[in-house]
Amino acid sequence: MSTRVTIERMGAGGDGIAITSTGSAYVPFSLPGEVANVALENGRATLMALLEPSPERIAPACRHFEECGSCTLQHWQDGAYRKWKRSLVQDALAARGLDFTLDPLVACAPQTRRRAVFAVRTSERGAVFGFNRHLSHELIDIVECSVTVPEIVSRLDDLREVVAVLGGGMKAFKLTVTSTASGLDIMATGCGAPDAAKRQALTALVIKKDFARLSFEGEIIVEPRKPIVQFGKVPVFLPAGGFLQATMQAELAMSELVTAHLAKVKRTIDLFSGSGTFTFRMAENSAVHAVEGEQPSVDAMDRSIRYVQGLKPVTVERRDLFRRPFLARELKPYSGLVFDPPRAGAEAQAMEIAKSTIPKVVAISCNPVTLGRDLSILVKGGYRIDRVVPIDQFLWSSHVEAVALLSKK
């Protein structure tokens, strides 16, 4: 049985919200102002028929839209979409009562996502390669992707051959593919460790297809060439599964904000540094201490430092900043700090930064909610938010990156 609803507004998760007799209902792939017939179940709705489409509705860029669950907003006109995307940061920070200036949204173009995590499995008909359907475990086989770089999309058939050799039966597993300067870096997870025969077959296939590296759960199976990414002037050997900003456009935008805010700083600390995304760019002007919890990323930075000249001193440290955050007294030697934690944010670390006397801080986050929490801690500690810049690193999704620049006198 269908119910006629009007979409009142867009929710933070990218679904339209309709008010029904039983409460709010979330309607995927709808837009504010639209009238539709939907099938309701436990507060969620399936769009059955669009009766009155919004004038902001446009033709989606990808043939898999509404099947593949990776993009949920390709049908929204660009200006309205960007306004909503910016509002995710605005609303999350305003909910904390913060005083801030929010810049216009920094846009990222289609076909620029340089890392994709595919859902894959083998079947009687061959390898199924794609993404899960929206809010489902059903795997949708794809032939194109409007957000991912052509270097990956053009190799889908070759990647299917890798999946076919990996096997794994009918159980779905993950294949993370990263485009690097050396070629594609591929990592399989969740399919079971390949035996000797599979390793031999995979080695031959990777060499034949001219991939840079294939690994399983972080263990390298074959590496004809080390995958290289460029952080400023420094080439870095990316560790298997190592963190990398989703798009180069976003990375450059964030790096420019970081280096400009810390331009006059002589000694900086980079917390949650990854493999040195900001570390090496900051080291062109100031001494940097980089702190990261993953040993492979620490090793990658340490290796790069040895072979690069023309930078200020860079030191690296492995440390779990969730369990053992840098204390305020440990931060005394530094006059600039940047931290870019995972989605959970860095509450404990923010509390120590708030106690410090560091005059310049940059907070980076892919989660506006936890960013708002961490910024409120810093503000209570005496920091002022100079600017907040939203960056649409995750095109046509409900995720958004943000960079906050803070000062303390």
Cα distance between residue 250 and residue 390, in whole Å: 10
Task: Give the 3-state secondary structure of residue 265.
Answer: coil
The pair of structure tokens assigned to 23 is 């409460």
If you ran DSSP here, which 8-state letter would residue 329 be given? G
340 carries a ligand binding annotation: yes
Could you write out the DSSP letters of every residue in 275-293? Answer: TTTTHHHHTTTSEEEEEES
292 carries a ligand binding annotation: yes
Cα distance between residue 353 and residue 367, in whole Å: 19
The pair of structure tokens assigned to 369 is 């909610």
Catalytic position from the list 62, 68, 191, 366: 366
330 carries a ligand binding annotation: no
74 carries a ligand binding annotation: no
56 in Cβ contact with 76 (< 8 Å): yes
Strand order in the sheet with 219-222: 139-141, 126-132, 115-123, 173-180, 183-189, 213-216, 219-222
Run of H or E residues at 194 = none
Concerning whether 366 is annotated as a catalytic residue, the answer is yes
DSSP E strands in 114-198: the ranges are: 115-123, 126-132, 139-141, 173-180, 183-189
Q: Which residues of 254-272 are buried (b: 16+ CB within 10 A; e: fewer)?
A: bbebbbebbeebeebbbbb
Residues recognised as catalytic: 366
Annotated binding site for S-adenosyl-L-methionine: 245, 272, 292, 340
Annotated binding site: 245, 272, 292, 340
